[in-house]
């Protein structure tokens, strides 16, 4: 299949998808004048890809694992895929009628203010963790570019919510997302923050919407919330101290002790002054510059006293699995192991008979063995 045919196939499949990578493909195809064919029975497979029927044949677009189950992918494309992933690009694979059609690489370019936003959040004592469905190599490249130290890669849409639940064991968690795949995690998080230009489902699931779609506004929202809470504490302290003295004075409690009295007229005026001061202090928030990070400080809490590194809770194991002969086999083993509760990422290498598995909880060896043997391969133990 030549480039023009591949782009036409990609356009036909991706035009009905709402995934950000699909939009990148369709925009490019539209710009260069590629035409799309009619498709039927369009199905989106979260975390894997999409399928549809075009020209009377089943066509697929998505991850390498998905395509390898239905078509044979040449080793040269596998090597190229690894190379592109290391550069932070995401390879999209396509097949038609059970035959591999080609690959398109899409670069998930980070927003201009992302690195600055991450740095600002770190200065405020917050731990930043990236959760992505991309493979380990792509995720590592993007995280490095954005200045993010911790990331969880290869996470399926429903798996993002599970990662959030694990992080919540350490403290409060705010989740920032923009896609339909982020909606479950936005709902589970203590604070869901949606990018304004994102999917409507994500926006509906969030508690806060960043209208200007700037990640720097996440740090701004944190600054504003801290300033608001500080202002509330000041007003509560003032009102409590003021009334602690004023009410007993107005009631005549201090007359027998100090001989202090309060004219009711002055008492009424004093209450008005108290209310005026509280309101005036609250109105000072209108002068607060949410983008000024010069006064950022670390707010200590109980959760910060414990380890905040997700990698310390992330269990990693290396399994010896025999019988894998090609990328198809790797995909089968990966699929079988990912069905186990708690498994977040699986990387299989048929040349080394090695499977690297990441999980949020400890998994019994018998469970791993049953999954591998159920897929038709030999489990030779944990390294």
> Is 341 a residue whose pLDDT tops 90?
no
Residues 6 or more apart whose CB falls under 8 angstroms from that of 193 comprise 174, 175, 176, 177, 186, 206, 207, 208, 209, 210, 218, 221
d(CA 321, CA 188): 35
pLDDT the model gives residue 231: 94
d(CA 221, CA 126): 13
Residue 82 — pLDDT band, cuts 50, 70, 90? Answer: confident
Q: What distances in angstroms separate CA 90 from CA 80, 108, 221, 263, 287, one per listed residue?
A: 11, 7, 31, 76, 44
Residue 302 — pLDDT band, cuts 50, 70, 90? Answer: very low
Do 136 and 153 meet the contact criterion of CB atoms below 8 Å apart? yes
pLDDT the model gives residue 305: 45
Instruction: Output the DSSP codes for 127-192.
Output: --EEE-SS-HHHHHHHHHHHT--EEE-S--HHHHHHHHHHHTTTS--EEEE-SGGGHHHHHHSSEE
> Is 65 a residue whose pLDDT tops 60?
yes
Residue 227 — pLDDT band, cuts 50, 70, 90? Answer: very high
Among 314, 324, 312, CA closest to 344: 314
d(CA 155, CA 376): 24
d(CA 145, CA 21): 19
Q: Give 110-147 pLDDT, tens digit per residue.
A: 777 888 889 999 988 899 999 988 777 778 888 888 88
Residue 250 — pLDDT band, cuts 50, 70, 90? Answer: confident
What is the rounded average pLDDT of the residues 74-90? 82
pLDDT the model gives residue 318: 87
> Is 303 a residue whose pLDDT tops 50?
no
Q: Give 149-167 pLDDT, tens digit per residue.
A: 888 887 877 788 889 998 9
> Is 199 a residue whose pLDDT tops 80?
no
Of the ranges 230-234, 299-303, 322-326, 366-370, the best mean pLDDT one: 230-234
> Is 310 a residue whose pLDDT tops 80?
no
Instruction: Output the DSSP codes for 14-29.
Output: HTT---HHHHHHHHHH
pLDDT the model gives residue 205: 80
Residue 173 — pLDDT band, cuts 50, 70, 90? Answer: very high
d(CA 304, CA 372): 39
pLDDT the model gives residue 209: 87
Average pLDDT of the chain, as a whole number: 84
What is the rounded average pLDDT of the residues 268-279? 88
Of the ranges 159-168, 191-200, 294-303, 333-342, the best mean pLDDT one: 159-168
d(CA 184, CA 166): 14
The model's pTM: 0.62
Q: What distances in angstroms separate CA 80 from CA 24, 71, 74, 83, one per listed residue?
A: 20, 17, 10, 5
């Amino acid at each position: 299949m030549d480039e023009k045919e591949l782009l036409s196939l990609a356009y036909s499949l991706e035009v009905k998808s709402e995934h950000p990578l699909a939009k990148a493909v369709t925009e490019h195809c539209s710009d260069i004048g590629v035409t799309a064919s009619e498709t039927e029975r369009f199905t989106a497979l979260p975390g894997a890809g999409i399928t549809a029927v075009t020209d009377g044949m089943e066509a697929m677009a998505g991850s390498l694992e998905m395509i390898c189950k239905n078509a044979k992918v040449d080793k040269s494309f596998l090597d190229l895929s690894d190379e592109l992933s290391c550069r932070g690009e995401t390879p999209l694979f396509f097949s038609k009628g059970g035959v591999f059609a080609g690959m398109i690489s899409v670069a998930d370019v980070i927003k201009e203010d992302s690195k600055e936003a991450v740095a600002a959040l770190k200065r405020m004592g917050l731990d930043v963790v990236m959760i992505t469905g991309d493979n380990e190599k792509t995720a590592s490249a993007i995280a490095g570019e954005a200045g993010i130290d911790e990331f969880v890669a290869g996470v399926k849409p429903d798996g993002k919510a599970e990662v959030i639940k694990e992080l919540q064991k350490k403290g409060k968690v705010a989740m920032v997302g923009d896609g339909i795949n982020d909606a479950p995690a936005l709902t589970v998080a203590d604070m869901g923050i949606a990018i304004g230009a994102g999917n409507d489902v994500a926006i509906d699931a969030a508690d806060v919407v960043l209208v200007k779609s700037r990640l720097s506004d996440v740090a701004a929202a944190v600054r504003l919330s801290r300033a608001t809470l500080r202002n509330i504490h000041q007003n509560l302290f003032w009102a409590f101290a003021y009334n602690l003295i004023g009410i007993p004075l107005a009631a005549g409690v201090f007359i027998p002790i100090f001989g202090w009295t309060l004219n009711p007229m002055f008492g009424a005026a004093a209450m008005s002054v108290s209310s005026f001061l509280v309101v005036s202090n609250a109105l000072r928030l209108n002068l607060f510059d949410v983008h000024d990070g010069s006064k950022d400080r670390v707010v200590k809490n109980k959760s910060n006293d414990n380890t905040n590194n997700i990698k310390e809770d992330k269990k990693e194991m290396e399994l010896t699995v025999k019988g894998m002969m090609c990328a198809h086999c790797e995909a089968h083993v990966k699929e079988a192991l990912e069905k186990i509760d708690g498994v977040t990422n699986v990387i299989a290498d048929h040349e080394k008979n090695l499977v690297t598995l990441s999980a949020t909880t400890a998994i019994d060896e018998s469970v791993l063995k049953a999954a591998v043997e159920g897929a038709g391969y030999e489990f030779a133990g944990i390294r």
